Amino acid sequence: MFKRKSFKAGVLSLAFGLMLAGCASEPNSTDNVDDQVEPGEENVTTEGGAEGGDLVVAVLSDATILDPHSSSDVPSGNVQSNIYETLVKYDTNMELEPRLATSWEPVEEKVWEFKLQEGVYFHDGSEFTAEVVKANIDRILDPEVASPRAILFEIVEEVIVVDDHTVQFVTEEPFAPLPAHLAHYASSIVSKEVIEADYAAVEEGGQHGSYINENPIGTGFFAFEYWTPGEEVVLTRFEDYWGENAKVDTVTFRILPEDLTRIAELETGAAHIIDPVTPSDLTRIENTANAYIRNAASITYLGFNVEKAPFDDPRVRKAIAMSLNREAMLDGILDGTGEAAVGPVNDTNFGYSENVQGIERDLDAARELLAEAGYEDGFETTIWTNDSRERIDIAELTQAELAEIGIDVSIEVVEWGAYLDATAAGEHDMFILGLSLGTGDADYPMHMLFHSDNVGSGNRVRFADDTFDQMLYEARIEQDEATRLSLYEDATNYLNEEVPMAFLYHPSHIMGYGEGVEGFWADASGVYQLQNVTIQ
489 pLDDT exceeds 50?
Answer: yes
Q: CA 293, CA 306: separation in Å to the nearest integer?
A: 35
Pairing verdict, β 2-4 and 54-59 = unpaired
Burial of 280 (0-12, 13-18, 19+ CB in 10 A): middle
**Which residues, 6+ apart, have CB-to-CB distance to 25 below 8 Å?**
39, 40, 41, 42, 94, 294, 295
- Asked if the model's pLDDT at residue 313 lies above 50, the reply is yes
pLDDT at 295 over 90: no
pLDDT above 70: residue 231: yes
d(CA 65, CA 452) in angstroms, rounded, equals 25
Average pLDDT over residues 419-437: 94
CATH at residue 94: 3.90.76.10
Torsional class of 296: left (φ above 0), alpha (ψ -120 to 50), beta (otherwise): beta
End of a domain among 198, 230, 245? Answer: 198
Which DSSP state fits 504?
A: E
pLDDT at 92 over 70: yes
Q: So what's the pLDDT on residue 212?
A: 98
Q: Mean of the pLDDT values across residues 310-324?
A: 98
| Mean pLDDT of the chain, nearest integer | 89
Q: For the purposes of burial, counting CB atoms within 10 Å of the CB of 486, is it exposed (0-12), middle (13-18) or buried (19 or more)?
A: middle
pLDDT exceeds cutoff 90 at 455: yes
Determine the Cα–Cα distance for residues 330 and 339; give it in Å rounded to an integer: 7
Q: What is the mean pLDDT of residues 263-276?
A: 97
Mean pLDDT of all residues in 359-365: 97
352 with 396, same domain: the answer is yes
Q: What is the pLDDT of residue 187?
A: 96
**Per-range mean pLDDT, top range of 90-99, 276-285, 458-467:** 458-467
* β-pair type (379-385, 407-413): parallel
26 in a structural domain: no
Does any domain span residue 64?
no
Share of the chain above pLDDT 70, in %: 91
Question: Does residue 237 belong to any structural domain of this protein?
Answer: yes
Confidence grade of residue 440 (pLDDT, cut at 50, 70, 90)? confident
Statement to judge: residues 442 and 318 lie in one domain: yes
- Residue 28 pLDDT > 90: no
Instruction: State the pLDDT at residue 389.
Output: 86
Angle made by CA atoms 462, 423, 72, in degrees to the nearest 5: 90
Dihedral angle computed from the Cα positions of residues 42, 48, 52 and 58, in that order, rounded to the nearest 10 degrees = -30
> Could you tell me if 269 and 395 lie in one domain?
no
Helices (H) and strands (E) in the chain, counts: 15, 24
176 domain residue, yes or no: yes
Q: Where a domain ends, among 167, 198, 229?
A: 198
Does some domain include residue 283? yes
| pLDDT at site 36 | 32
Mean pLDDT throughout 153-164? Answer: 96
Which region among 189-203, 303-317, 387-401 has the lowest average model confidence (pLDDT)?
387-401
Q: What confidence tier does 508 reach under pLDDT thresholds 50, 70, 90? A: confident
Compute the average pLDDT of residues 422-437.
94
The rounded percent of the chain whose pLDDT value lies above 90 is: 77
Return the C-alpha torsion angle 205, 220, 229, 19, nearest 10: -100
pLDDT given at position 20: 30
We report the CATH number of the domain holding residue 273 as: 3.40.190.10
> Mean per-residue pLDDT for 117-126?
98
Give ∠ CA 443-445-447 in degrees, rounded to 5. 65
The secondary structure element, H or E, covering residue 111 is: strand 111-116
2-12 exposure pattern, b = at least 16 Cβ within 10 A, e = fewer: eeeeeeebebb
Shared-domain flag, residues 285 and 352: no
Q: Quick check: 46 pLDDT over 70?
A: no
| Overall number of domains in the chain | 3
Would you say residue 17 lies in a domain? Answer: no
CA–CA dist 310, 372 (Å, integer): 12
User: Is there a single domain that holds both residue 225 and residue 369?
Assistant: no
Quote the DSSP letter at residue 459.
B
Q: Is the pLDDT of residue 5 over 80?
A: no
DSSP string, 303-356: EE-TTSTTTTSHHHHHHHHHH--HHHIIIIISTT-SEE-SSS--TTSBT--TT-
Lowest mean pLDDT among 30-34, 333-337, 393-397, 431-435: 30-34
- Residue 384 pairs in a beta bridge with 412, 431
Residue 228 is part of which domain span? 220-293+511-535
Residues 448 and 518 reside in one and the same domain: no
Rounded mean pLDDT of 76-99? 92
The string of DSSP codes covering 196-238 is HHHHHHHHTT--TTHHHHHS---SSSEEEEEEETTTEEEEEE-
> Tell me, what's the pLDDT at 7?
30
Averaged over 439-456, what is the pLDDT?
92
Q: What would the mean pLDDT of 68-97 be, rounded to a whole number?
A: 91
**Do residue 422 and residue 319 come from a single domain?**
yes
Which has more pLDDT, 103 or 72?
Answer: 103
Please tell me whether residues 316 and 454 are part of one structural domain.
yes
For residue 209, pLDDT over 70 is answered with: yes
Q: Give residue 73's pLDDT.
A: 87
Q: Looking at the domain assignment, is residue 23 inside a domain?
A: no
Taking the C-alpha atoms of residue 255 and residue 241, their distance in angstroms, rounded to an integer, is 27
Confidence at residue 39, expressed as pLDDT on a 0 to 100 scale: 32
Using only C-alpha atoms, the chain has a radius of gyration, in whole angstroms, of: 22
Between 520 and 9, the higher pLDDT residue: 520
Q: Is the pLDDT of residue 82 over 80?
A: yes
Burial class from Cβ neighbours inside 10 Å (0-12, 13-18, 19+) for residue 491 reads buried
- Ranges 28-32, 181-185, 247-251, 412-416, most confident: 247-251
Question: Are both 319 and 288 inside the same structural domain?
Answer: no
Residue 203 lies in a domain: no
What is the pLDDT, as a whole number, of residue 482?
Answer: 94
pLDDT-derived band at 523, boundaries 50, 70, 90? confident
Kindly state whether residues 316 and 279 are assigned to the same domain. no
pLDDT of 503 above 60: yes
At residue 50 the predicted structure's pLDDT band, cuts being 50, 70 and 90, is low
For residue 225, count other CB atoms closer than 10 A to its CB.
12
| 452 shares a domain with 499 | yes
**pLDDT the model gives residue 422:** 95
Higher pLDDT, 284 or 6: 284
Choose among 17, 511, 79, 526: nearest CA to 296.
Answer: 526
* Model confidence, pTM: 0.77
Q: How much is the pLDDT for 18?
A: 30
Q: How far apart are CA 115 and CA 166, in angstroms?
A: 5
CATH value at residue 306: 3.10.105.10
Q: Contact 162/168 with Cβ under 8 angstroms? A: yes
How many Å from the N-terminal Cα to the C-terminal Cα in the chain?
Answer: 47
User: Does 433 have pLDDT greater than 70?
Assistant: yes
Q: Which residue has the higher pLDDT, 408 or 2?
A: 408
368, 491: one domain: yes
What are the two backbone dihedrals, phi and then psi, of residue 439, each rounded to the nearest 5 degrees? -90, -10
